[in-house]
Structure 1
Amino acid sequence: MTVPHLSTALTGPLLELESRILTAQPHIEHWFRSQWHNHAAPFYGSVDLRNSGFKLAPVDMNLFPGGHNNLNPDFLPLSIQAAQAAVEKVCPEARSILLIPENHTRNTFYLQNVATLVHIFEQAGLKVRLGTLNPEITEITELTSAGGDIVKLEPILRQGNRLKLADGFNPCVVLLNNDLSGGIPDILKDLEQNLLPPLHAGWAVRRKSNHFTAYDQVAEQFSQLISIDPWMINPYFVNCSGLDFHARQGEDALAESVASTLDKIAAKYREYGIKNDPFVIVKADAGTYGMGVMSVKSPEEVIGLNRKARNKMSVVKEGLEVSEVIVQEGVYTFETVDDAVAEPVVYMMDRFVTGGFYRVHTGRGIDENLNAPGMQFVPLSFETPCLPDKHGSPDCAPNRFYAYGVIARLALLAAALELENTDPERD
């Protein structure tokens, strides 16, 4: 397995950050335990990290993670144990689970993710069936995944406030692996079954700006705990609304947001003697799949976008129109796998790190979004499952991956706060 490496010129400051995380490990784990005592962890999630050598930060948090098929199969037992803990927490007597995947049935790699999730929950001792929201599927339909597994989709029925299948299958838990970008269907509303993640975690409601507002709070607390500058683990951001890319409405306000964020980053770069050019990522405040994303180094770049760029930014998954974006500090990635630019993606279930992979893109640069066509996946080479090596150097593989797991769990904790703060039933 390839162990990715960093450009040696930039390992210094990150080694210092990793050293602090390793030294503070008992305090960190105690702090996490107390946080999870007070806040319910999301059922599962994945976090995109960027590691620039001087900064290690999350740049996206997915609450409906696909890609379980890209995890290292050697560490599947971690997912199975975490699945048992996660299900037991919401429904101790659970015997069955209805998994609702995305509608894109032609993506055989996504179907492999679904097959992997089925395997995880079956190994955790649950009966698993797959229900679909796809109106085109009106009878039991068998599809073949990229790995050759058969995925059997069944139309969902609603009886009263419960979801069932045609033969009477009546699950204790309904698990969404569908991010609801196209809206919340009535069939999912007001269920008496445990529905996970909750409906307000879907992109019909969720906003990245809410997540990173919660992350600001978490990063501040954690940084005080281990005595670091919060900026080292937290990208600046600002949200910008009232946009219409086709009509070129809101361009000036967007340019101002870009300029102010670039100025803040430049001040930090001067403080730490960083010679790179600051950049920002402008991306849709709601949505996923790397759509509606652009990398920008000057405010002029968002004024007078050409038609291709406007089309790219104006619509995301399920044809959702973009009127709100976040302008997020761009974090360079200086990690490479076989000389291709790479970024780590860490997977969690309940409060446990279950694995991860490197998203690798041979056609993208160190300041670009890697979640784009042409990306490849390399499983993270966990030598021990996210446990630090007290006798190893700060940047040896187990210690680097432990640091990744810590930062990813900070993002997971922020997601817990975000879901609490945006819960429509909150008192």
Structure 2
Amino acid sequence: MSGAVQCPALLVAATASGQGKTTVTAALARRYRNAGLRVRVFKCGPDFLDPKILEQASGHAVYQLDLFMVGEDECRRLLFEAANEADILLVEGVMGLFDGDPSSADIAARFGLPVLAVIDASAMAQTFGAIVHGLSEYRDDVHVHAVIANKVAGSRHADMLRESMSKTVQWLGAIERDAVPVVPSRHLGLLMPREIEDIDQRLDDCAEALPASVDTLPPPATFEGGLSHSWFGNELKGVRIAIARDACFAFIYPDNVNLLVELGADLYFFSPLADDRVPECDAIWLPGGYPELHGETLSANHGWQRDLQRHHAQGKPILAECGGMIVCTEELVTVEGTKHPMIGIMPGRAIMQRRLSGLGLQELTLPHAKLRGHSFHYSRLKTNLDPFTHSRNPNGGRDEAVYRHGSLLSSYIHLYFRSDPAVMAEMFSGRFCAP
């Protein structure tokens, strides 16, 4: 598709993490959905967990927007296609509005998205107005359209906040303290919807807690037509790919699955936690997730382990990302020191840490290819394997080792497949060669 389309849109941002932007974005999505509107939601950055809550709220898959990992052209295409079928688009930012490179503000500026600022006002009064003013004036190319005050003590507190603001930013109202149910979290972020028994009731309650002014949709933004995928061939036609997917192996970008289908692959999902046997296949993808929460079950279920071992012995490709790599090692050691035997097709062991071990965008340079993705892990790998290459963190942070052991390609990197479809086709078809 080409041309341009208009659709009301908001990028929901904040001054920092923990201000409530995920909750507000989910509440808006559920409120508009309950009103009968077609809602499409995006997430800035590489997060896996917030999108699952947003998907539950909106009823549709949530895709990533990131100028580095996804790329500007692909972000433009995703927004344009969503705007063609939606009554409103919502984009949840990452960290604070101007934090990071690229930042949520960069996304807002590049695609003309008006910003809704969510500010935790629980410990402030007139300073609220100064913060709003600073957000709205910091960059000329970013339009802060409106603000919602979160965790407000009452109507008098809300009045003080509203009166502190200039007229250049719209006051959408306040959410009172304790009016919104808390979504539980753990070390990597929010719990997944399947783990929260009353998740839909919580989302409905969040939607009801929003001020009535949100029912007036923001003015439309204009979205230009993006690139088509007509150039894709059938590089994976007839290739059968088995994908681990359950509460342990849950960190899967929806667009990664879409791309494999577009390339012609036949996909078969299985659950290691349920001790599903690995379907008859040509390649296996073990995504990231939470092996540290399921070590006992994973080590006790032997059927799928034998299938993986046989697949690897036959020289068939396996892509293992983060948690997927952990289960390929010989042993997983928890923070309490408990040791769980793993599959053992990769020498070494993964040792869980109480503190974050790696976080950041990553770029993996290969012959004729540059794959992009990110890493986020609380474990460290102890192995005698020599990395065949390392990734590069574009922001100067920690890189990640990438290992090749027979037909196994493993690392802590969660790859965004569409950053280079051709090399992903080579990986899953078995034509990929290490430099």
Per the normalisation by structure 1, the TM-score is: 0.38
Greater Rg over alpha carbons, structure? 2
Work out which structure has the larger RCO, using CA pairs closer than 8 Å and 6 or more positions apart in sequence: 1
Q: Of Structure 1 and Structure 2, which has the larger fraction of its residues in helix?
A: 1
Per the normalisation by structure 2, the TM-score is: 0.37
Q: Of Structure 1 and Structure 2, which has the larger fraction of its residues in strand?
A: 2
